[in-house]
Amino acid sequence: MARSLVDDGATALISFGLAGGLDPSLPPGALVVPSTVLSNGQIYVCDPALSEALGGMPIRSLLAVGTAVATAAEKQRLWRDHGAAAVDMESGAVAEVASAAGVPFAVIRAICDPADRDLPVSAVQALDLQGRIAFGTMARIVLRNPRELLGLATLGRDAARARRSLVRGAESLRRLAARDANLGGLAL
């Protein structure tokens, strides 16, 4: 999708969405803006002016991965090994496209699952290839293990908090774009 946005004339890209926390100090709902994205052994530098304009809490880096990071132990390992404060599955692709096209990019993400919490097994196993939840799969898992409901309820509460943070971030970005014609070509 990022490639088609650039092909259609976007002059900057913003990776916008949810992330997992790797830094133990980041609570659910924290809105973070990294200065770099670590992806496939590459370091992509986010545009400083665009990043500052997004607001949110500045962090040094976000780690882009190919699959969900499901356990607190894995989050701790990634924090220790990479020093990235957050992790997601999309920002690496956006950074790569922006870098190849020579357009500025930035990232704004809300922490959904904190570093000290495992994701419920049902939430991870029910994700399809596009990262969407297959509710039938989730229902079958929960029927086999009703204890999953508590973890899903906690994740749902934290995801709602993260989405509220993203809405506030989007509202700030829209106000900024309306004031600054230079940001009119942003693709969210």
Going from N- to C-terminal start, the domains of the chain cover 2-182
Look at residue 100 in the predicted model and tell me its pLDDT: 94
Class of domain 2-182: alpha beta
Mean pLDDT by 10 residues, the chain (188 residues): 81 91 97 96 95 89 93 97 96 95 95 94 74 79 85 88 87 67 49
Task: Say how many C-beta atoms besides its own lie within 10 A of residue 154's C-beta.
Answer: 14
**Per-residue confidence (pLDDT) for residue 45, from 0 to 100:** 97
Give pLDDT, residue 187: 46
The structure's pTM equals 0.83
Q: How far apart are CA 67 and CA 64, in angstroms?
A: 9
